[in-house]
Structure 1
Amino acid sequence: MKPTLFLIGATLSILSCNNPQKQTQESETPTEQTQQVASENQTSSTKFSIENIPFSTTDLGDFPFFTAPDGAIYVNNTKTKPFDFIVFVTPDDIFEVEGKTYRSWVHADKESKAELSGRYLFKSYDDAITQAGGVKIFEGILDGNRLEQYNKLCTYAGDDGSFIPNGDQQIVTYVIRRKEGNIYIALEKKDFPSTSIQIVQEKPFEQTIKKITSDDIVKDLTEKGKSILYINFETDKSNVTAEGKEAVEQILGALTKDKSLKIAIEGHTDNSGEAAHNKALSNDRANSVMNLLVADGVDKSRLTAKGFGAERPLFANDSEENKAKNRRVELIKIN
């Protein structure tokens, strides 16, 4: 099915020339009145609740729902992340929202002759979001404790169009309440002809990592020459957890099935933290796995252990989901 997107056009400049009060009286529908009341309630109340937002049934098309306005483009080849988060601001709170996520900078299209303004960009999105059933939740500047709280939560700051407040930039947030998953949107509002947009549609995390068996390990080593495992360790330590030891038992089973099998145990991390620390930690973890196998009776001559830190990622470290996949132990067949 061809995706349907909200096309944000230049008709906004025409509408803005009309008398705002007269236009509201003539064109406001019952649905729009409900949304306006909900928005006013959110602004006047210091406590945000999704239950106060009316459901939107507007056909939104495919995620992320909104194109860039005429004369503008999304930059840096931004992609939708199946699961990530944005930091959302309300009048009374700042919190993370997880789900399907899109974050991007919006800049002028160099191939367009249109002259953009910051007001044009903001009004384009504001109108499109409102027409989609969105309700404005917050508009303002973060400072003091709220600014500190936002920056602490916003670990992706600077990447993929994330808003980076410095005490004098305005952030505007919206909610589109949907039965298939509420949509949270954050915009940067400024006079300069560029902005950023963050969109997340709530959905629960779906675990894609499966427990591996000794038969799986043998098959992987035979067919691919390596087997990728996700072994649980204590946070920032090399101690294998009880659940992690279950995975080590499966390695033991594979080595028991084939007495001639020799393997290299490689530890890998994501890129969080200092590179030297990650490399040392991954090395310690690989050795912890080896030592457990030796303690269970495996001849040490059949094993080697080494850590590589974040030097050999399987995926780009651009989301929590991908970082989790990079934190792994690999078994490499060496005979």
Structure 2
Amino acid sequence: MKKTTLLLASTIFFVACNNTPKDGQENQQDTVSTSLSGSNNETSETETVASFDIMNISLTTADIGDFPFINLPEGLEEMNKPMLSKFDVCFFPIDGTMTPFEGRLYKTFVSPVRGEEFSQRYFEKSMEDYLKAIGAVKVFDGEITREEYDRYNKQDPNKGGEGDMGYFDRNIKFWALRSADKGNIYIQYGANNAGGTLNVLQEENFIQTITKVTADEIVKDLNEKGKSILYINFDTDKSNLTSEGTDVVKQIAEALKKESALKISIEGHTDNTGNAAHNKTLSEQRAHAVLQALTKDGIETSRLLATGFGAEKPLVANDSEENKAKNRRVELVKVN
């Protein structure tokens, strides 16, 4: 009888232990179930999060100021120069799945001002109280799995950059906010005992700003500025013009035919990725490819020079993919 009673008690204890929520699960379910407007508290966590829709969040009536809408708490500052982009992508956790949103983006690491100690509780409490006060809703509070990190991390062009977060062993607190005049806003942050991280994205649609290069624009730039900066497409790591690149060269030829006295230097440039000597050679080959295409189109060789500078003369710092793309260019420089 004693053995039977002991066995029964052990079984009950084992079942009770296995039914205990894992760390963070209970908190995450409470966060999602109670945060989304109109959600059913009896619905499972997966069903509730899967139905997440920013439109279910009530519009805030608070004055949230200007982008990035959040000033750091007193005693804290941006650790380095923050990432600030007019249009980019940032991944936020929806039901533990890192989901991309696009728009205006701010990312920064947070540290205490000199001489102060960082308090994780102070940072997180400050953020939570402020976000609640302006009508934001908490969507996620937890960690993603290693499998999820492995799935998405190579899709993030800013991985490893300033203000980066979204690692499998670190807590992420994700909030969403709707404003009548500022649109949809997504905020995520995290911290440990050394410092914090903050990301803010104001959702916006992409606006195409690329227009077709025309001969008239090239002539205008050469006469008014002394040079015209062009982005001519070549095959990857080669000097062969693509069909799009050929179209641009035809516009250069038309410009030179309109201005028969113009003489130009065709200057090739690259970013700083890879071997410097190789980049310089490639830029020279591409400049000469443009020259040869122009001569085939009837432009006299005596009006043309070609040279390559590799990465020696960047337009902007090679500190992001966006800036590197700006540096991969061909410049037409007026020489008379």
What TM-score do you get using the length of structure 1 for normalisation? Answer: 0.76
Partners of 2:86 and 2:103 within 8 A in 1: yes
Report the AA paired with residue 132 of structure 1. Answer: I
* 1:253-299 residue CA offsets vs partner (Å, 9 max, x unmatched): 12223334322212233455665665454444333322221221223
Within-5 A mapping of 1:93-132 = 93-110=97-114, 115-132=117-134
Query: 2:288 is paired with a residue of what secondary structure?
Result: helix
Report the AA paired with residue 215 of structure 1. Answer: D
Look up the match of 2:14: none
Within-5 A mapping of 1:205-216 = 205-216=206-217
Tell me, yes or no, if structure 1 residue 311 matches structure 2 residue 312: yes
* 1:117-143 residue CA offsets vs partner (Å, 9 max, x unmatched): 112111211222233222222232334
Query: 2:295 is paired with a residue of what secondary structure?
Result: helix
Tell me, yes or no, if structure 1 residue 149 matches structure 2 residue 151: yes
Report the AA paired with residue 161 of structure 1. Answer: G
Tell me, yes or no, if structure 1 residue 173 matches structure 2 residue 177: no
Within-5 A mapping of 1:317-332 = 317-319=318-320, 321-332=322-333
- Matches of 1:275 and 1:241, distance apart in 2: 24
Give the number of aligned pairs: 300
Look up the match of 1:252: 253
| Structure 2: 5+ residue stretches without partners | 1-33
* 1:278-333 residue CA offsets vs partner (Å, 9 max, x unmatched): 54544443333222212212233432333334432223345554444333221012
- Matches of 1:254 and 1:86, distance apart in 2: 42
Look up the match of 1:297: 298
| Structure 1: 5+ residue stretches without partners | 1-32
Deviation at 1:65, TM superposition (A): 0.5
Report the AA paired with residue 50 of structure 1. Answer: D
Deviation at 1:82, TM superposition (A): 1.5
Tell me, yes or no, if structure 1 residue 138 matches structure 2 residue 146: no
Within-5 A mapping of 1:34-49 = 35=36, 38=39, 43-45=45-47, 47=50, 49=52
Which is worse superposed, 129-138 or 62-71? 129-138
Deviation at 1:228, TM superposition (A): 1.0
- Matches of 2:37 and 2:302, distance apart in 1: 73
Query: 1:313 is paired with a residue of what secondary structure?
Result: coil
- Matches of 2:215 and 2:70, distance apart in 1: 47
Q: 1:53 and 1:230, CA in 2 relative to 1: closer, same or farther beyond 3 A?
A: same
Report the AA paired with residue 227 of structure 1. Answer: S
* 1:219-272 residue CA offsets vs partner (Å, 9 max, x unmatched): 322332211122334555544333333321221012223334322212233455
Compute the RMSD of aligned alpha carbons.
Answer: 3.1
Look up the match of 2:67: 63
Q: 1:55 and 1:37, CA in 2 relative to 1: closer, same or farther beyond 3 A?
A: closer
Partners of 2:111 and 2:118 within 8 A in 1: no
Within-5 A mapping of 1:254-273 = 254-271=255-272
Question: Which one has the largest radius of gyration?
Answer: 2
Partners of 1:106 and 1:196 within 8 A in 2: yes
Look up the match of 1:80: 84
Tell me, yes or no, if structure 1 residue 187 matches structure 2 residue 189: yes
